[in-house]
Structure 1
Amino acid sequence: MSSLVSCRSGNAVGRILLMAAAVLSLPGCAVMSAAGPSSGDIREANQAPVGNANIRIVDLNDALSRTIIARSRPLLLSESIGDGFVLGSMVGKGDVLDISIWEAPPAALFGASMSGGRLASSGAAAQGSGFPEQMVSSEGTITIPFAGKVMAAGRTPQQIENDIVSRLRGKAHLPQVVVRLVRNSAANVTIVGEVANSSRVPLTAKGERLLDILATAGGVRQPVGKTTIQVTRGDRVASLPLDTIIRDPRQNIRLQPDDVVTALFQPYSFVALGATGRNDEIPFEGTGITLVQALGRVQGIQDQRANVRGVFLFRFEDPTVLGNELASTATRTPDGKIPVIYRIDMKDPSTLFISQSFPIHNGDVLYVSNAPLADIQKFVSIISSTIFPIASVRTAVQ
């Protein structure tokens, strides 16, 4: 009986060995499942059409890294938007003005002064008249007796005073004019988005800055590192991470009427796949992280599995980064980007210096391929796990 079992067990082992030999003769992709494409598969994709576009493999080097860093620098608010004017220095539509006009004696036009709501004799002193408060019209003008319509919007109180004096010269005797901004009804900033209280915030003569308005709205509801502030002024729109605005006082720009401030929650992330210490979607701060920081957050690459020359970064890249030759021939995505795979040789010591400044973008995919030996070891492990239990049964029966 034992010889019969031994014979049958020997035949089973032989069949498994024959199956292993047959499997070894198949293409690599049929041997076993893998976490992703091999280094060779990715290199072959360099000339393979994908969705009518050729995916290019680009070796990451110092020159390319410098170009990408320069292109990745966000446009600062101080450069794209700039400081607004201090409230009170410029009159706008809807503002309320208080205007007083004086004449030296003998007064010709404004020969009485206002006192307690009644006309009072001014004697030999300078004589003047105070007018009811005027709101700047939708056309941007105010009306002054004997001077007519005077343009006020977009001008300072001093400029309005000089204009009125020039119009009254020759009519009034040595006229003097004082224009005072009483209410700035139209001077508001709108703040919306991820703040405690979305509202319209009135501006004052202090000259409120961006962080002042955020504080007035109760601050942001999301972590500072994941919040981006967008400022809209007319047809100009610019955004910057809140953390950058806090750290760089130049970006805490002075706001002006009708600006719109939007606090945006930006959960930036990249995806790590393959022979890394952690396969996951990894969030990062709005200020960005570098390639070496990204590798650190996924616990590096696995020593037993990874191909150190098979580290790849998949990205939809800005065409201006890649040069005219590639940009002119590649088919772009609907938003104008080009699919690119950056190849990173971690065996080259200089790569560690380059990766300390190479930026990771939102949506990047970091992939580390298996070393060829790792695939062989995986196959041997599968075969061993199948053979050894049968061999154990054979030993037990004997």
Structure 2
Amino acid sequence: MHHKLLFALAIVGILGGCSGLPSEGPSAMDISAADIESLPQTEYIFVPIDANSANVAGQYRLTEFSRNFKVGAPGNGQRLGVGDRIAVTIWEAGENGLFSTVNGKNTNVESVVDENGMIFIPYAGRMRVAGRTVETVRQNIEANLVDKAIQPQVLVNVKGNVSNSAVIVGDISKPGRYPISLRGTRILDLIAGAGGSKYPTYETVVTLKRKDRTATTVLENLFDYPGNNIFLSPNDNILLAHAPRSFTAFGAVDSTKEYRFESRTITLAEALARAGGLDDKRADAGGVFLFRFEDVEVARQLSDKVDLQAVSGYKVPVVYRLNFKDPKAFFYARYFELRDKDILYVANHPTAEFGKFLNIIQPGITSARSVDLITR
């Protein structure tokens, strides 16, 4: 009887230390026990995956370019810059004028905009053209010749458009400097003109640098959200880089590792299948979690506990929970799409922790029983 009492006390002591058992991560209770009410706003927000949250998350739009670069359709004409080569044709109404002869009533003059932004036109002199439109330059030349030529008419054509161009480099078929057309050139126009990306659109990242501003998005977002397909400005720099998207699976799944998307989209159901599904012996079907950062605008639609001081562009840590004990969860999982660098975690079921506990104390139980038999 004495030995049985000691054995029971030992078991109680070990049970008290169950929190120290080896584990791949927190339990479902650890993640959601605080019910988020007591969490400070600097922590994460907790969101059950249901029809509403799946719909809100699905409406997420990547608008990095349209948000950072407010460029509309060009309407003021192209502006000349240093290095541009222009051709000026001047007509006169009569013969024997400054620019007309018996054989013809016009003269062609070619000029390159110098480092000071100036060109020289005979009898019109040196004039500044950098930063001005072709039409403005045409009018200025014509005005300077009114008292010197016979009813002059002027036409200005751009032969070499150096200043109105953009550079594209990286994982592109034909990198280089490309001119921006008079009607305006969008990012996709330039990418197409340069031969397109060497990799699938969903594995290609586009970075646009304009002066001191930079933004990055996935190439396919230029198709999906036309607002991102903005007009280019002179001297824009575009970089295309191969950047496969991925998610990481942890916890009670068949294979814990990082997985590449390998397709344009991947749903939560597909991601779990890629990870081997929930482990029958360990997984808590009610404890499937997805960790990600959401834009503050999206987070506010998911929870009223988002910091009211958070501004646009601020990222809010969000923990989504899916409960597969509810049959509707399978429909939500089919609809809910993953994003790059999402973390998928399946918590261990409490009975799995108890199984670990039994494995630990099994040698002690065997020894205690042996001692009890010997002392009888």
**TM tier, shorter chain?**
0.7 to 0.9
Please report the RMSD computed on the Cα atoms of aligned residues, expressed in angstroms: 4.4
Gaps of 5+ in 2: none
Q: Does 1:347 align with 2:325?
A: yes
Q: 1:114 aligns to what? A: none
Structure-2 change in CA distance of 1:165 and 1:336 (3 Å): closer
Paired position in structure 1 for 2:61 = 73
SS of equivalent to 1:277: coil
Write the mapping of 1:42-61 to structure 2, written as runs, cut at 5 A.
42-45=31-34, 46=36, 53-61=42-50
Q: Deviations over 1:299-325 (max 9, x none)?
A: 111223221111122333333323284
- Which one of the candidate residues 270, 294, 302 is aligned to 1:293? 270
Aligned position for 2:11: 21
Q: Does structure 2 retain, via aligned residues, the 8 Å contact 1:241–1:287? A: no
Q: Pick from 94, 112, 115 the counterpart of residue 105 of structure 1.
A: 94
Residue of structure 1 in register with 2:306 after alignment: 327
Is structure 2 residue 166 aligned with structure 1 residue 201?
no
SS at match of 2:334: coil
Taking the TM superposition and a 5 Å limit, the aligned residue runs for 1:130-209 are: 130-131=108-109, 133-138=110-115, 140-150=117-127, 152-153=129-130, 157=134, 160-194=137-171, 200-203=176-179, 209=189
Which among 37, 47, 53 is matched to residue 26 of structure 2?
A: 37
Q: Deviations over 1:123-148 (max 9, x none)?
A: 3x5434443x3112445443334434
Structure 1 residue 388: Cα displacement: 6.3
CA 1:136–1:107: 2 relative to 1, 3 Å: same
Question: 1:129, 1:34 → 2: CA distance?
Answer: 86
Identity of aligned residues (%): 31
Offset of residue 15 of structure 1: 9.1
Task: Decide whether aligned partners of structure 1 residues 101 and 367 sit closer, same or farther in structure 2, where only a CA change above 3 A counts.
Answer: same
Q: Deviations over 1:248-270 (max 9, x none)?
A: 99977775642211123434333
Contact 2:62 2:225 in 1 (8 A): no
CA distance in 1, matches of 2:151, 2:201: 59
Give the gaps of 5 or more residues in structure 1.
Answer: 1-10, 112-121
SS in 2 for 1:173: coil
Q: 2:283–2:347: 8 Å Cα contact kept in structure 1?
A: yes
Q: 1:374 aligns with which of 352, 359, 362?
A: 352
CA contact (8 A) 2:180 2:234 kept: no
Alpha-carbon separation, structure 2, partners of 1:312 and 1:204: 47
Please state whether the residue corresponding to 1:377 is helix, strand or coil. helix
Match of 1:283 among 260, 280, 283: 260
| Distance verdict in 2 for CA 1:288–1:141, change over 3 Å | farther
TM-superposed deviation, 1:279: 1.4
Question: TM-score, normalization: structure 2?
Answer: 0.74
Pair 248,285 (structure 1): closer, same or farther in 2 beyond 3 Å:
farther
Contact 1:227/1:286, CA 8 A, preserved across alignment: no
Q: Deviations over 1:72-130 (max 9, x none)?
A: 32127689577987xx965433111222322122444335xxxxxxxxxx33x543444
Which residue of the partner structure matches residue 337 of structure 1?
A: 315
Q: Residue 285 and residue 326 in structure 1: after superposition, are their counterparts in 2 closer, same or farther (change >3 A)?
A: farther
Asked whether the 8 Å contact 1:313–1:342 carries over to 2, the reply is yes
CA distance in 2, matches of 1:249, 1:27: 57
**What residue number does 1:309 align with?**
286
Cα distance change on mapping 1:18 and 1:391 into 2, 3 Å: closer
Q: Distance in 2 between matches of 1:20 and 1:279?
A: 35
Supply the distance in 1 between the matched residues of 2:227 and 2:37 (Cα, whole angstroms): 47
CA, structure 1 residues 100+194, in 2 after alignment: closer, same or farther (shift >3 Å)?
Answer: closer
TM-score, normalised with respect to structure 1: 0.71
Kindly tell me: are residues 270 and 366 of structure 1, through their superposed partners in 2, closer, same or farther at Cα, counting changes over 3 Å?
same
8 Å Cα contact 1:101/1:176 also seen in 2: yes
2:351 aligned with 1:361, yes or no?
no
- CA–CA distance in structure 1, aligned partners of residues 216 and 193 of structure 2: 16
Q: Secondary structure at the match of 2:33?
A: helix
* Alpha-carbon offset, residue 298 of structure 1: 0.9
Work out whether residues 269 and 283 of structure 1, in 8 Å CA contact, stay in contact via their aligned partners in 2. Answer: yes
